[in-house]
Amino acid sequence: MKTITIGGKAGDGIKAAGKLFANILSQLGYYVFVLDDYPSLITGGHNFNKISFDKKPIFSHYKETDVLIALDKKTIDKHKKELKKNGIILYDSNSFSYKGAIGIPAQDFVKEVGGIKIMRNVALLGALSYALGIDFKIVKSVLKKVYPEKADKNIVIAQKGYTFAKENVKQILRLKKIGKPKEVMSGNTAIAYGAVRAGLDIYIAYPMTPATSILHYLAKNSQKFKLKVVQPENEISVINMALGSAYAGAKTMIGTSGGGFALMNEALSLAGMSETPIVIVECQRPGPSTGVPTYTSQADLNFVLNAGHGEFPKVVIAPGTNEQAYYKSAEALYLAWKYQVPVILLSDKHLSESLKTFEVKNLKKVKIKTSNGGKNYKRYLITKDGVSPIAFPGTKDSVVKASSYEHDEFGITTEEPEVVKKMQQKRLRKMKAIEKEVEKLEAVKVYGKGKNVIVTWGSSIGAVLEAAKGLKNVKIVQIIYMLPFPKKSVEKHLKNAKKIVCVEANATGQLANLIKLNTGIEIKNKILKYDSREFEPIELLNELKRWLK
Amino acid sequence: MKLDTYAEITWCPGCGNFGILTSVKNAINELIKEGIPKEKFVIASGIGCHAKIVDYINVNSFYSIHGRVPPTLTGIKLANKDLVAIGFVGDGDIYDEGISHLIHAAKRNTDITIVVHDNGVFALTTGQFTATSPKGFKGKSTPKGSIENPLNPIKLMLVSGATFVARGYAGKPEHLKELIKKAVKHKGFSFVDVLQPCVAFNNTYNFYNKKVYDLNAEGHDTSNFEQAMKKADEKEKIPIGIFYETQAQVFEDHFN
Ligand SMILES: Cc1ncc(C[n+]2csc(CCOP(=O)(O)OP(=O)(O)O)c2C)c(N)n1
Ligand code: SF4
Ligand SMILES: [Mg+2]
């Protein structure tokens, strides 16, 4: 396992460099994980990416670094202490000078080809590629793929960095092709792509970090995906528009963060009452309120579980890795339409915006049985499992009435207590059917065997899986379905544990509380992180060792 | 065609909503006769006395929530632009709670029709002032009279980019029916503010009966924006009819 850290100011192309290098490594067949760390500003500040890679699957970045790439001096000052014993520092010697580090005249190379300042990152990546013993052909092909329009200049700049390094930098690795190229995707891209492959028709969102990149990705690819992408005036409009389009038959997803989700609550309840299918992606960031907008947190679990006034069936799924994001997004769409309920896909900044390699398999399109309506069609027909046949407006000879009011089977408002009770029971029966279905799905994922158990959820699974490489006799239990809660399965895995530790990125142990509520099992050992930053494997390992001693 | 449902109509006797209901049913019936299949109609409503109208008309409907009809209808058109989407909203509903949606729907020029049951009061919550209540309006929350000036919905919609802007009166159902038909046939965002007496909290029948006149009968040029803005300011006499009408590309047509 090796780690590259690349840092500079916002506007220096740090994220682009991280993505580019992740693609180079994955092209060679390596498994890669990239953390993108940036403050809430557009120019200046300090951004960095950590690119960790290995021959075996990797689930987190690491802090300790083998190569530090610095586009400004601050990067060296901040990250020098993370450098491993034989680690090297490469930096742009046209911008500053630093003793004991290897200067690359990146700005000169950019000027020589008439490039723009941001291309310094490519000059340094050229030098880095040489230092890691990567064949330049690979660098070239990746540049062509990532920058189809601007490839030429970038290739020349990278080549200059590479050639310069040949004379001035000692190769510290010789990375050869070790396997098939892999896809590199952010959690948000995986969510978007999973939904598209499952048959998404419309995506609607108002920009809010860390959900915005779903909107950007889908808007950019809307033609290719035959998708309609809309940015309305606010989140209240987003969800109501989505309920309108779903009512009219279009598979619709929306995305936001905690603040935007708060605005959507009234209409979430409308989705429950009107039985309109919808997938809501909630990408958590640290609150309360505006909080720490570009960093990570897992503190909205209670909020989403309890969101929406009244009692109605809903599903909350919290994927933890990028591949889970891909599959669970498709699953969310499936469940929403099969049971005509709102499904919340709960992500967080660390999952949404970190890149990871994974194998993208094909997904089945969600197919639902629709009704042909007819003269006697009843949108809210009472059935055994509570699911009524769904028809859409425009169906011949049919009247499709949806309502926010309590209604009878046809959809007309009612205040009759017997009907109110029957309809409430009908809707809640769907939850029983969903519980049964979820038993067949991967609601809990268990890794390894052992007497001690680490329980976790969401993106924290990444650091836990890496930390566990340094532990013996531990079983990891990742809870993916928060609602319906996979009670039996969680009970089974926790019941006979010698010690249980719960790892989550919030201050009050929300998952631990949820487990207690559902199973009665009280978890006393909690590793909670609420400084707005994600877990790091080595730091976490040290803490885990203390608890599991 | 009978468009009634079995729902019991619970409006107060004499409510202006009856006039609107008659106009709407007649308009839909005539449009069906003119060739629009009945199943293509989708109506939606907010929350308030006005909103009950969706229960009383036997076509597809989405009984939405307070203030959110424009996005609901926009979503419906996004999914299926062959549908004919008409929204019934209240003045509190759309000039207070949901005003941002109204402005943006006009700006987008979504091909929907918005009919406002403008009774100048929050009726279903038993009588508070709304954005169109006159200054000095004595409601339960403003016992000494409202201290705010009302806004001018016609001007608001004109400057927001609405491509069909009209005002009707619940006391003139035949005229209102014609307006609604034209609004529905107009391709683009159609806005009809309907003066609606509320016999319980704001009985304006006498006031409007004396004041309204048909501006189209007096040769108003509906293609003249400035003229429309001027007409929208008239207070001594109250013009009803089409203020402004123009053509522009429709929101949902931008999508494949
Ligand atoms: C979010 C929300 N806030 C408040 C209400 C309570 N409410 C119900 S009807 C209404 C006023 C309706 O006034 P208007 O839209 O003018 O309709 P009218 O009853 O006059 O037809 C209000 C405030 C609500 N249903 N939802
Ligand atoms: S309160 Fe007013 S608006 Fe409501 S039904 Fe009665 S008269 Fe009509
Ligand atoms: Mg009103």
Size of interface A-B (CB pairs under 8 A): 143
Q: CATH 3.40.50.970 region(s) of chain A?
A: 185-358
Say what the pLDDT of residue B134 is: 97
Indicate the CATH number of A185-358 among 3.40.50.1390, 3.40.50.970, 3.20.20.70, 3.40.50.2300: 3.40.50.970
Chain B residues near residue A273 by CB distance under 8 angstroms: none
Among candidates A247, A274, A397 on the partner chain, residue whose Cβ is nearest the Cβ of B39: A397
Taking the centre of ligand 1 as the mean of its atom positions, its distance from the CA of residue B122, in whole angstroms, is 6
A10 strand-pairing partners: A44
Say what the pLDDT of residue A106 is: 98
Q: Is A310 left (phi over 0), alpha (psi -120 to 50) or beta?
A: left
Cα–Cα distance measured from residue A186 to residue A19, given in angstroms and rounded to the nearest whole number: 10
Beta-strand ranges (E) seen in B64-221 are 84-90, 113-118, 164-169, 190-195, 212-214
Hey, which residues 72-111 in chain B have their CB within 8 Å of chain A? 72-80, 82-83, 100-101, 103-104
CATH 3.40.50.150 fits B17-255, yes or no: no
Break chain B into its structural domains and give their ranges. Answer: 17-255
From the CA of B202, which ligand is nearest? 2
Which protein residues touch ligand 2 with a CB less than 6 Å away? B 11-12, 15, 17, 49, 119, 123, 198-201
Chain A residues near residue B83 by CB distance under 8 angstroms: 248, 393-394
Closest atom of ligand 2 to CA, residue B14: 7
| Positions of chain A with pLDDT under 70 | none
Say what the pLDDT of residue A529 is: 98
Q: CATH 3.40.920.10 region(s) of chain A?
A: 2-181
ipTM above 0.90, yes or no: yes
Closest atom of ligand 1 to CA, residue B91: 16
Q: How many helices and strands in chain B, by DSSP H and E?
A: 9, 8
Look at A233 and B100 and tell me if their CB atoms are within 8 Å.
yes
At B33-82, the pLDDT tens digits run 999 999 999 999 999 999 999 999 999 999 999 999 999 999 999 999 99
Chain B residues near residue A235 by CB distance under 8 angstroms: none
At A188-218, the pLDDT tens digits run 999 999 999 999 999 999 999 999 999 999 9
How is domain A2-181 classified at the CATH fold level?
Pyruvate-ferredoxin Oxidoreductase; domain 3 (3.40.920)
Chain B residues near residue A405 by CB distance under 8 angstroms: 63
Going by C-beta distance under 8 Å and a sequence separation of 6 or more, which residues neighbour residue A98?
A70, A73, A76, A89, A91
State how far residue A404 is from chain B, nearest Cα, in angstroms: 6
Q: How many CB atoms lie within 10 A of CB A528?
A: 15
The residue of chain A with its CA nearest to that of B74 is A241
Closest atom of ligand 2 to CA, residue B10: 5
Task: Give yes or no for B71 touching A (CB within 8 A).
Answer: yes
- Residue B194's pLDDT band, with cuts at 50, 70 and 90, is very high
Going by C-beta distance under 8 Å and a sequence separation of 6 or more, which residues neighbour residue A450?
A472, A473, A474, A475
Say what the pLDDT of residue A549 is: 80
Taking the centre of ligand 3 as the mean of its atom positions, its distance from the CA of residue B92, in whole angstroms, is 5
Among candidates A228, A234, A392 on the partner chain, residue whose Cβ is nearest the Cβ of B78: A228
Q: CATH 3.40.50.920 region(s) of chain A?
A: 444-548
Contact (CB, 8 A) for B76 and B32: no
Cα–Cα distance measured from residue A89 to residue A50, given in angstroms and rounded to the nearest whole number: 14
At A506 the three-state DSSP class reads: coil
- Mean pLDDT of the residues in chain B: 98
Cα–Cα distance measured from residue A187 to residue A356, given in angstroms and rounded to the nearest whole number: 8
Among candidates B54, B63, B75 on the partner chain, residue whose Cβ is nearest the Cβ of A241: B75
Is the pLDDT at B256 greater than 90? The verdict is no
- Residue B1's pLDDT band, with cuts at 50, 70 and 90, is confident
Among candidates A242, A244, A398 on the partner chain, residue whose Cβ is nearest the Cβ of B62: A244
Contact (CB, 8 A) for B101 and A237: yes
At B4-42, the pLDDT tens digits run 999 999 999 999 999 999 999 999 999 999 999 999 999
Indicate the CATH number of A444-548 among 3.40.1390.10, 1.25.40.10, 1.20.58.760, 3.40.50.920: 3.40.50.920
